[in-house]
A and B are shown apart, each in its own frame.
Chain A
């Protein structure tokens, strides 16, 4: 018996060693030329956040820094622990996608108290003067673009439903309000239901199925992001209703681009995530070297681009549109 246990223990250790030694030791190089930039995104299983982390890490390495990418998964406690680790590792800057507009303020204050500048991307925190810069997409402009295209696709009359993102993310409310401001101006369009699907594909699928049961006569679904829209498309396919119900997304993810090419999704709104992730690292570099980010204000809004069948072929890389 003890022999078996010993064998198991050795196997476990042997399995773990290559993983550990092969990962490199970025922390040990923190004292090297540029320093360590810690990047904290939400959940890399969503291609949007995966790209956010990858692009920022690549840009940091290009500028001579080492980079660590951590995932908060939308939990403020995990995010707080990751900030603790960034401080322990003596990071020179933190690129943060805040998990909660108000709840993440404490963690940001901790980093500032440890003399590490914080650059927020994609989502904002509800307090100015803390982060050195906040780079977010112009969600209001993007939502208006999307809603206008959506009206062109569904027509002027009918019932529709909405899928909303996580309430802790200010972007969810901004996009929803943006949609409402455009759609309320069309008197024939009536919103019969709105469900929270937390940016998640499975939840979008399940909520769509329930809404179809309750409202079988809808003409369209407008979604806060692509993942939820793709889930809704899967539900509509199963119910055989994809031809009669039009779906609109937001983000510009590769899966959404494929769905647009296939005709399942009507449009999406590309967030310039690759642009602002890169810009955040550039501004961090400029701030560390010169004390200024180079931007006029703390909060910087970057415009979104509408993606339809006409320009969907122009993607050169995830979330990057060629000219």
Chain B
């Protein structure tokens, strides 16, 4: 009764012949990136140099990590507006820990080691994510409202902790054994900034999770059709809480990398970063309603936004034009998303060509997940 459907992963030619329009549409994020690189290389000799590409990638890496967490939430049918504030609070808490924690009862000041501080900060990020998850999954608060409220609360806590000032002394003291915080921001491995490597590691983990693990299929399933997934035995509530926890964790990692890069942790860090993360997810081809999207597309989306913004700065265009361009790119991306999904009349029988986000795979996976239960 269950037909074994051959999963034709990238056979390259569709059954109806080679369709250039369709190829362009499916690979649009990739081609957009190539177009941006070509245009700006032409406009400025400084753009397409190895050092500049690495610098731009380190700028992109922060948003890309946030976007990966955001993708998981959006795949699940939700949205997380609190990642920017979580990033700020985690940076501030890291700064506070590096200054030393004074315990009045014991009359002593604890100086946690750098790795201890990093772990504690990640736990904090995960906790904030858990708060979001519980509000949304168990208390049935709409995702937009819940994460909006958490966004304000977390930002307020960060401002209260620091009174609006920043923590600047993050270097640590060799005598106290807590040096090494700047490793994340300043070091390079084989010339590649650590931030970019962290992004690559998180992306690989994300791809493996989404494609190879049951959890990944559950995320797609409950995003595509929550009721059907629940009836098929997918633990929908647990998955929902988990994706918000992961998003909070990604925000904590970005908070650590950012405060390391800037050697300062301020409570206003990360303001409006959540909007850029959502934009990257959308440009990468994910559907805001859930169930469709890939990590590769999200990374391409983050690179498109980042390379475009940095390119505009390099050629000296005023910062106001940058916001206009970024907005135009987002609107264009959503339009093309709609075009692509409407075009796809025949379900998974079409094979997949082209190098990029394949929303059909999400549906095929959903169908499989349902059948396998």
Taking a contact as CB atoms under 8 Å apart, the answer to whether B315 and A80 are in contact is no
Taking a contact as CB atoms under 8 Å apart, the answer to whether A27 and B317 are in contact is no
With both chains docked as a complex, state the minimum distance between the C-beta of B316 and any C-beta of chain A, in angstroms: 4
With both chains docked as a complex, state the minimum distance between the C-beta of B31 and any C-beta of chain A, in angstroms: 11
- With A5-B339, A19-B321 known to touch, is A103 a contact of B314 (CB < 8 Å)? no
Taking a contact as CB atoms under 8 Å apart, the answer to whether B45 and A28 are in contact is yes
CA distance A20 to B328 in the complex (A): 14
B21 on interface, CB distance cutoff 8 Å: yes
Contacts of B218-274 to chain A: CB distance below 8 A:
258, 261-264, 266, 268-269, 271
CB-based nearest B residue for A172 = B164
CA distance A70 to B44 in the complex (A): 17
Of B59, B266, B328, most buried by chain A (CB within 10 Å of CB) is B266
CA distance A73 to B268 in the complex (A): 12
CA distance A35 to B168 in the complex (A): 33
The listed residue (A4, A24, A44, A84) touching B339 by CB distance below 8 A is: A4
Taking a contact as CB atoms under 8 Å apart, the answer to whether B266 and A88 are in contact is no
A75 on interface, CB distance cutoff 8 Å: yes
Taking a contact as CB atoms under 8 Å apart, the answer to whether B342 and A167 are in contact is no
With both chains docked as a complex, state the minimum distance between the C-beta of A90 and any C-beta of chain B, in angstroms: 7
Interface string of B278-308 (1 = CB under 8 A from A): 0000000000000000000000000000000
Taking a contact as CB atoms under 8 Å apart, the answer to whether B315 and A2 are in contact is no
CA distance A181 to B264 in the complex (A): 31
Taking a contact as CB atoms under 8 Å apart, the answer to whether A27 and B46 are in contact is yes
CB-based nearest B residue for A27 = B44
CA distance A100 to B167 in the complex (A): 11
Contacts of A1-50 to chain B: CB distance below 8 A:
1-2, 4-5, 8-9, 12, 15-16, 19-20, 23-28, 30, 44
Interface string of B14-57 (1 = CB under 8 A from A): 00000001000100000000000001000111100101100100
Counting residue pairs across A and B whose Cβ atoms lie within 8 Å, the total is 123
Contacts of B163 in A (CB 8 A): 167
- With A5-B335, A5-B339 known to touch, is A25 a contact of B262 (CB < 8 Å)? no
Taking a contact as CB atoms under 8 Å apart, the answer to whether B164 and A80 are in contact is no
Taking a contact as CB atoms under 8 Å apart, the answer to whether A85 and B166 are in contact is no
With both chains docked as a complex, state the minimum distance between the C-beta of B18 and any C-beta of chain A, in angstroms: 16
Contacts of A1 in B (CB 8 A): 339, 342-343
- With A12-B332, A103-B262 known to touch, is A84 a contact of B318 (CB < 8 Å)? no
Contacts of B124-176 to chain A: CB distance below 8 A:
163-166, 168
Taking a contact as CB atoms under 8 Å apart, the answer to whether B46 and A89 are in contact is yes
How many residues of A sit at the interface, in one of the four size bands?
Answer: 35 or more
A308 on interface, CB distance cutoff 8 Å: no
The listed residue (B168, B269, B336) touching A105 by CB distance below 8 A is: B168
With both chains docked as a complex, state the minimum distance between the C-beta of B206 and any C-beta of chain A, in angstroms: 24
Taking a contact as CB atoms under 8 Å apart, the answer to whether B310 and A76 are in contact is no
Taking a contact as CB atoms under 8 Å apart, the answer to whether A69 and B318 are in contact is yes
CA distance A104 to B21 in the complex (A): 48
Taking a contact as CB atoms under 8 Å apart, the answer to whether A23 and B166 are in contact is no
Contacts of A27 in B (CB 8 A): 43-46, 314-316
With both chains docked as a complex, state the minimum distance between the C-beta of B354 and any C-beta of chain A, in angstroms: 15
CA distance A60 to B145 in the complex (A): 49
Taking a contact as CB atoms under 8 Å apart, the answer to whether B336 and A5 are in contact is yes
B325 on interface, CB distance cutoff 8 Å: yes
The listed residue (A8, A84, A107, A196) touching B332 by CB distance below 8 A is: A8
Taking a contact as CB atoms under 8 Å apart, the answer to whether A25 and B44 are in contact is yes
CA distance A117 to B195 in the complex (A): 27
Taking a contact as CB atoms under 8 Å apart, the answer to whether B266 and A76 are in contact is yes
The listed residue (B52, B165, B262) touching A167 by CB distance below 8 A is: B165
CB-based nearest A residue for B59 = A81
Contacts of B45 in A (CB 8 A): 27-28
Taking a contact as CB atoms under 8 Å apart, the answer to whether B46 and A2 are in contact is no
B119 on interface, CB distance cutoff 8 Å: no
Taking a contact as CB atoms under 8 Å apart, the answer to whether B262 and A12 are in contact is no
Taking a contact as CB atoms under 8 Å apart, the answer to whether A103 and B310 are in contact is no
With both chains docked as a complex, state the minimum distance between the C-beta of B292 and any C-beta of chain A, in angstroms: 18
The listed residue (A5, A85, A106) touching B310 by CB distance below 8 A is: A85
- With A2-B21, A105-B263 known to touch, is A75 a contact of B165 (CB < 8 Å)? no
Contacts of A107 in B (CB 8 A): 262
Contacts of A152-175 to chain B: CB distance below 8 A:
166-168
With both chains docked as a complex, state the minimum distance between the C-beta of A258 and any C-beta of chain B, in angstroms: 24
Interface string of A101-143 (1 = CB under 8 A from B): 0110111000000000000000000000000000000000000
With both chains docked as a complex, state the minimum distance between the C-beta of A115 and any C-beta of chain B, in angstroms: 14
Contacts of B318-359 to chain A: CB distance below 8 A:
318-319, 321, 325, 328, 332, 335-336, 339, 342-343
A68 on interface, CB distance cutoff 8 Å: yes
- With A76-B264, A166-B164 known to touch, is A23 a contact of B317 (CB < 8 Å)? yes
Contacts of A168 in B (CB 8 A): 164-166, 266, 268
A71 on interface, CB distance cutoff 8 Å: yes
With both chains docked as a complex, state the minimum distance between the C-beta of A250 and any C-beta of chain B, in angstroms: 19
Taking a contact as CB atoms under 8 Å apart, the answer to whether A85 and B318 are in contact is no
- With A20-B43, A27-B45, A68-B316 known to touch, is A84 a contact of B266 (CB < 8 Å)? no
- With A1-B343, A8-B332 known to touch, is A26 a contact of B59 (CB < 8 Å)? no
Taking a contact as CB atoms under 8 Å apart, the answer to whether B335 and A19 are in contact is no
A77 on interface, CB distance cutoff 8 Å: yes
With both chains docked as a complex, state the minimum distance between the C-beta of A157 and any C-beta of chain B, in angstroms: 32
B313 on interface, CB distance cutoff 8 Å: yes
CA distance A27 to B271 in the complex (A): 30
With both chains docked as a complex, state the minimum distance between the C-beta of B61 and any C-beta of chain A, in angstroms: 12
Contacts A/B (CB < 8 Å), 13 sampled: A1-B339, A2-B343, A5-B336, A5-B339, A8-B332, A16-B325, A20-B39, A27-B45, A28-B44, A75-B269, A77-B258, A88-B49, A102-B166
List 11 extra interface pairs beyond A76-B262, A100-B266, A103-B264, CB under 8 A: A1-B342, A2-B343, A5-B25, A19-B321, A25-B43, A27-B314, A28-B45, A76-B266, A88-B52, A103-B263, A106-B264
